[in-house]
Amino acid sequence: MPLTHVKKWTPEGKWKSVTIEEMRRDNQSARISARSGLLMCDLCNKFVIMTEANIRDSYFKHSNADEDKACPERSGLYGTPAYRILDEKTKGLPIRIVVDQVGNFRFEIGFPAIHDSDIKAKGNIRISSIQGTYAYSVERLSSHGSSYLNVGNLPAPEYKIQVNGIKGDITKYWPSRIQGIQNNTLFRKTTGTLLPKDSDIVKDEEYYLLSRSWLYSTPYIELKKIGSNGSYKLYTIKIIDLSDAAARFVLGDLQYRLVGTQMKMTFLWPVIIKDPYLVYHSKKIQYVFITGEAQYRMYPNNEIKCSSSEAGTLLKLTCYDRQQLLSIGRYKNILDYTYLWKSDFKIEKKYELPDDEAPLETSTRVQFTRGTIISFKPSFNGKLIVEESGWVISQYELKAGEYFELTRIRKTNEFSIYYGLDCVWTTKRNGTDEATEDDKYLTDGELLGMLTKCRGMLVPVTDAVKKAAVELSDYYPLSTIWLSRRIHNGKIEIDAYQLIMKII
C-alpha cells in the first residue's frame, strides 16, 4: 500500500511533511533508498523508499528489510475505529534515572500525589519486572507532589503495576503495565526523566543515553561515557550539528526525532501549582500553550477551544472533573502528559497591608488624606513609586521581609508598588488616559505587526504578561500566540511588554 504520511529531512535542519507529487517534481521521479535516511514514515518512524518511475508512477513504500514491520498505514489500521489518536493505553508512568557523581545509577517510577482522604485502607503498590518485584506501602505516596519509587539499577523492558487501598476514581488513569527501558533510551539530564521513543530531541541540549553499544563522538554528536552496569553503558550525549547524518543517527539508531522546536506544553493562566506530571488548579478554565508538531487530547473528553499558528497552539480548556489527563504526542503515541487536579489551594499573597489584610492588586483603590501613613512588609524586593500629576516625584527601594513606612503623604499623591516589572498595587485609576483612535480600532494583524517589530532588551516574563495573554485571547488570537511563545521561552522584549500593558 502506498504511504501518505511521509516526511523529508530538509536543508534547514528539520523534518517536513511531503507528498509524492512534490517529490516527483523535485526529484525527477528518481529512486531514493531507505538507507539514505532522507524520507521517514510519520506513523512508525522508519526510513522509507521512494520508488523509481517505470511502468507505474513512483510512490512511497516501506523497506522489506525492516525487522519490525508494524505500521498502522502498512497494515491498513490507520483511519479505522480501532486506531485511537493518543490512545490512553500508550501512556505510562514517568520513569527517571538517578545518577551519582561517580556514574552509578538506578531507576525510579513516579506516581501522582494522593490525598489522605483518597486512601480507603492499608494498601500497597507492587512493581514487577524481569529484574524482580518491589513492594511499597501507599503511605509512601506524597500528598503534595509526585513520589518516585526505586525499581533497581538494571533496566527492564516492561513493568507491571498493582495497586490496592486507593479509591478507584483516583487510579482510573493509572496503567497496569508500562513500557520500561529499552536499549538506546534517552533521559533528560536536567531531571533524569525518560523520553519515550519518537520524542523530540533538540540541538545543543545534553541528555543521558543508556546503550549496550560502545559509542564514540563524531563531528555532529558529542558522547562521553560516565558509567556502566552489567551490559549497559551510560553516556552523556549532545547533538552539535543539524545535519542529515545527525538526523539519521537520532532516528535510525535511537528512534527519536531531531527537531528545531521541541514539543512542549506551558500552562499560562490562571495561577497553578506545578509539579512534574501534575497540575493543581482551582479554576474551571485553563489556558495552555503547546509548541512543536503535537496533537493533543484530554480525558475525559471535555470542551477544548484552540487557536493555531506556526508558533504553536493556544488551548482554552474547560475542566469539569476533579481529575483529568491532558496529553500531547503524535498519532497513537502519548509523548508527554499532565494530570489536572482540581483543588481549592490558596496562593500566598505577594504583599499585605497590616490595616485590613487586603491583597495588593492593581484593582485596589485606596483613598489617602493628609497625614496618612503607609506601612507594610513586602515579601519580595521591589520599589514604591510616588507620583504627582503624572510626574514621578520620589522612588523607594523595598526589601523582602523588612517593614517599610512612609509618612507625610499628600492627598494628591498617587502610589504604585512594583515587583520587577509587575505593578502589584496602585492607587491610580485605570482608564484615566484618553484613548487614541489607533488604540480603539487596533486589529489583531496590526497588533501582531507592532509586536514583531519590537527589538528591545529582553526582560523576564511576569504574571502580568500571562494574564494579558488570556485577556487578549478572544479578540487578538494571533497576537496571543505570539505572546504565548514569549511566555513559553520566559523572556519578552521590553517594548513589547510596554505595548501589551498599554493595550490591556
Check residues 459 and 255 and name the one with the higher pLDDT: 255
Residues 322 and 254 in one domain: no
Provide the 3-class DSSP secondary structure of residue 146. Answer: coil
Residues 32 and 68 in one domain: yes
Residues 135 and 159 in one domain: yes
Residues 127 and 163 in one domain: yes
Residues 279 and 247 in one domain: no
Which residue reads 554528536 in cell numbers? 221
* 395-415 confidence digits (pLDDT tens): 888 887 787 877 766 666 788
* 472-483 confidence digits (pLDDT tens): 877 788 888 888
CATH number for the domain that contains residue 322: 2.60.40
Of 210, 238, 259, which residue constitutes the final position of a domain?
A: 259
Residues 48 and 93 in one domain: no
pLDDT at 183: 92
Q: Answer whether residue 411 is part of any domain.
A: no
Q: Answer whether residue 419 is part of any domain.
A: no
Residues 250 and 271 in one domain: no
328 touches 289 (CB < 8 A): no
Q: Answer whether residue 43 is part of any domain.
A: yes
Check residues 434 and 268 and name the one with the higher pLDDT: 268
Of 115, 144, 179, which residue constitutes the final position of a domain?
A: 179
* 263-314 confidence digits (pLDDT tens): 888 887 766 666 666 676 777 788 888 887 777 877 776 677 777 777 788 8
* 215-260 confidence digits (pLDDT tens): 999 999 999 999 998 889 999 999 998 888 888 888 888 889 888 7
Comparing CA positions, the residue from 183, 189, 191, 111 lying closest to residue 144 is 111
Residues 314 and 268 in one domain: yes
Q: Answer whether residue 13 is part of any domain.
A: yes
pLDDT at 84: 56
Of 124, 153, 179, which residue constitutes the final position of a domain?
A: 179
Q: Answer whether residue 455 is part of any domain.
A: yes
Q: How many domains does the chain have?
A: 5
Check residues 328 and 219 and name the one with the higher pLDDT: 219
Residues 20 and 61 in one domain: yes
Q: Mean pLDDT, the chain, as a whole number? A: 77
What are the two backbone dihedrals, phi and then psi, of residue 404, each rounded to the nearest 5 degrees?
Answer: -120, 140
Comparing CA positions, the residue from 259, 319, 318, 269 lying closest to residue 293 is 259
C-alpha cell at 206: 545534553
Q: What is the mean pLDDT of residues 372-393?
A: 77
Q: Has residue 432 got a pLDDT over 60? A: no
Q: Answer whether residue 130 is part of any domain.
A: yes
Residues 268 and 322 in one domain: yes
* 92-151 confidence digits (pLDDT tens): 788 999 998 888 999 999 887 776 666 666 778 899 999 899 998 887 777 666 788 999
Q: Answer whether residue 276 is part of any domain.
A: yes
Q: Answer whether residue 209 is part of any domain.
A: yes
Residues 293 and 329 in one domain: yes
CA atoms 287, 293, 297, 302: torsion sign: positive
Comparing CA positions, the residue from 66, 88, 87 lying closest to residue 77 is 87
pLDDT at 438: 40
* 3-42 confidence digits (pLDDT tens): 778 888 887 777 888 888 888 877 766 778 887 888 888 8
pLDDT at 243: 86
Can you spell out the DSSP letters for 230-283? TTEEEEEEEE----HHHHHIIIIIT--EEESS--EEEEEES--EEETTEEEE-S
Residues 60 and 100 in one domain: no
Q: Has residue 211 got a pLDDT over 90? A: yes
* 228-240 confidence digits (pLDDT tens): 988 899 999 999 9
pLDDT at 343: 67
* 42-81 confidence digits (pLDDT tens): 888 788 888 887 767 788 888 877 766 677 766 565 555 5
- Under DSSP, the state recorded for 34 is G
Print the domain residue range for 284.
264-342
Check residues 189 and 334 and name the one with the higher pLDDT: 189
Task: Give the least confident one: 191-200, 273-282, 296-305, 416-425.
Answer: 273-282
